[in-house]
Structure 1
Amino acid sequence: MTLMRTSHRLAILAAAVLPALLQAQTQAQTTTTTTTSTSTATPSPLKPATAPTITPEQRAALEEIHKLSVMTVKFAGDTHQIIIKLEPEKAPGTVANFIQNVDKGTYKGLAFHRTIADYLVQTGDPASRSNDNRDSWGLSEEYTIPGEFKIPHTTGSVAMARRSDKVNPDRKSNGTQFYFAVGDMSSLNGQYSVFGDVVVGLDVLKKISRSIRDSNDAPIERIEIVDIKVVDHKGPVVKLTNTGDGPKRRGTSKPDALKGPFEKFLDRVW
């Protein structure tokens, strides 16, 4: 009798406790599922990438506008481009005069009328438009403009030619003739108006300087300016030392994503 009563009480206790345990287990499973679902649906936020810092000087360089003269020259049976970075801040009158000549078409069709090996290449004389005037190339009586002598000569400098001190004591520049310094011309600092610097094509100019020439230092083969223009370029300008001649650079061009603003500009003008 005692055993039966005890078994009966245990059965009653189990009947009472089991539903409670099952309810607790169900609630625990529901909580776990909800937590897992919530964790999957709302991942922890990622930290934003840190943007590169640009200094005020770098930002100013990216926004700066440069005036470039793009010249196409026919030489040795091919065309080559020479790009000059103009300096209107340091030689405003000389640059303005040069741009005016470009806009008027003064330089198109003119020859390079004077070369000295690894030293100087000169052009811009209106008389050189015709081979019939060859003996008078470089001797044209030109209008003059005031000299500006703030910029020293370096390899690649571009400057206006002028008549000698004896007949030109004020050292006024010729109105159209200009030259490229392809060697050390520092002895002329403060005497001739430098107004620009070659950033592309210095190697071509050096080859032109070594041309076979006559007794007046004029190249035997006609070397001619076939086109010239002045354009605005936004962003840094890098002076390039080419190993090839002009358009041949395309074969070693970088992917667009790796090019800087000036390299992309060159792709547009070549």
Structure 2
Amino acid sequence: MKTPLLTCLLALGFHVATNAQQTKAPETLRPGLAPAPTTSPAPAPATTPAPSTAEIDKLAEEAQKALFQSVDKGTSGATKGTSQNYNSNTPMRLPAQRAEDPSLWAKDSVHKIALMEVAFGGARETVMIELFPNDAPQTVNNFIDKCDSGFYNGLAFHRAIEGFLVQTGDPLTSDESARTKWGTGGEEKTVPAEIKLRHRVGAVAMARRSDKVNPERRSNGSQFYITLGNYGAIDGKYTVFGQVVSGLETIKRISIMPVDANDCPVARIEIKSMKVINQKGPMQLPSMASGDGLRYIKPDAARGFVSRWFHHIW
């Protein structure tokens, strides 16, 4: 017969064993394996409708505007002549000789200037490009024809690579739903190669297909790009026909915008208008200096009658 003490010990042992099974430690998990939930699953969140295309575009534009503003604040105190936008992961290349100062052009000289109005971040800015008809006559004539016909109006920048280049001029970029094809348009017409000028920061050149399918290096009929550096691999292989003389900082800001896997800016950056004027004599002195991207006062030929009148009496 069991003694009361033995009976108590057996009862105590049974109680401890039962509790040990109830409080058993979880198994060691293999990498990547999540533990089983120990509580009841939370109720599924209420389903919300997917945002519309208009809402997505608005959010992208707001984000783009905020980024532009932050870039302006971050570079406003930068030392003049220094660049903040080159990619440190790519080899640096010293810039070529700077372009001729437009404020020093001879009084009797005539220069062809392309005025490109660009819309981004809720604002518009002007980029001025000097064209070189003596060095690339067929290319410049084709470009002027495109500008005069309004071909570039409404097209978007479809390529932006920091410290390298930005590219536009593809007619397919007028259609947002055709984004997957952006960069492949404008091949209906090509222009003979006029490879004479070298690239430098702010150089404007025509895009083209590769040597494998285009051994003559003929230029695309409409797509062009603007270089910002690291152009050793393309120098002497593409037709350079112009040079940015004002608004280079605008081009630099475009180059650092968020892009997708194809280097296409996520938020739309659009050419609102493009026209070519004749600038007689030197351009007026810079109204604002921003690093190496001097912004010149618009030449009279680019102003309306009222604007010219106010400008001269002010």
Q: TM-score range by the shorter chain?
A: 0.5 to 0.7
Q: Which residue of 1 aligns with 2:279?
A: 233
* Deviation, structure 1 residue 228: 0.9
Query: Which structure is higher in helix share?
Result: 1
Give aligned-pair identity as a percent: 48
* Deviation, structure 1 residue 263: 4.3
Pick one of 275, 289, 299 that aligns with 1:265.
299
Question: Measured at CA, do residues 264 and 135 of structure 1 come closer, stay the same or move farther in structure 2, by a change above 3 Å?
Answer: closer
Structure 2 residue 121 is the aligned partner of structure 1 residue 87: no
* Deviation, structure 1 residue 266: 7.1
Pick one of 290, 293, 296 that aligns with 1:243.
290
Q: Which residue of 2 aligns with 1:148?
A: 194
TM (normalized to structure 1)?
0.68
Structure 2 residue 167 is the aligned partner of structure 1 residue 133: no
Check whether the contact 1:149–1:189 (CA below 8 A) recurs between aligned residues.
Answer: no
Check whether the contact 1:155–1:182 (CA below 8 A) recurs between aligned residues.
Answer: yes
Q: Which residue of 1 aligns with 2:63?
A: none
Amino acid at match of 1:265: P
Is 235-244 or 137-146 further displaced after alignment? 235-244
Q: Which residue of 1 aligns with 2:209?
A: 163
Q: Which residue of 2 aligns with 1:122?
A: 167
* Cα distance in 2 between the residues matched to 1:169 and 1:152: 19
* Deviation, structure 1 residue 238: 8.0
Unaligned runs of 5+ in 2: 1-103, 308-314
Higher Rg:
1
Amino acid at match of 2:147: V
**Runs of 4+ residues deviating >2 angstroms:** 236-242, 266-270
Amino acid at match of 2:208: R
Pick one of 235, 238, 241 that aligns with 1:192.
238
* Deviation, structure 1 residue 189: 2.0
Pick one of 136, 140, 151 that aligns with 1:106.
151
Unaligned runs of 5+ in 1: 1-58, 250-261
- What SS does the aligned partner of 1:188 have? coil
- How many residues align? The count is 197
- What SS does the aligned partner of 1:106 have? coil
Is 180-189 or 84-93 further displaced after alignment? 180-189
- What SS does the aligned partner of 1:112 have? coil
Check whether the contact 2:279–2:301 (CA below 8 A) recurs between aligned residues.
Answer: no
TM (normalized to structure 2)?
0.59
* Deviation, structure 1 residue 236: 2.6
Q: Which residue of 2 aligns with 1:64?
A: 109
Q: Which residue of 1 aligns with 2:249?
A: 203
* Cα distance in 2 between the residues matched to 1:199 and 1:149: 21
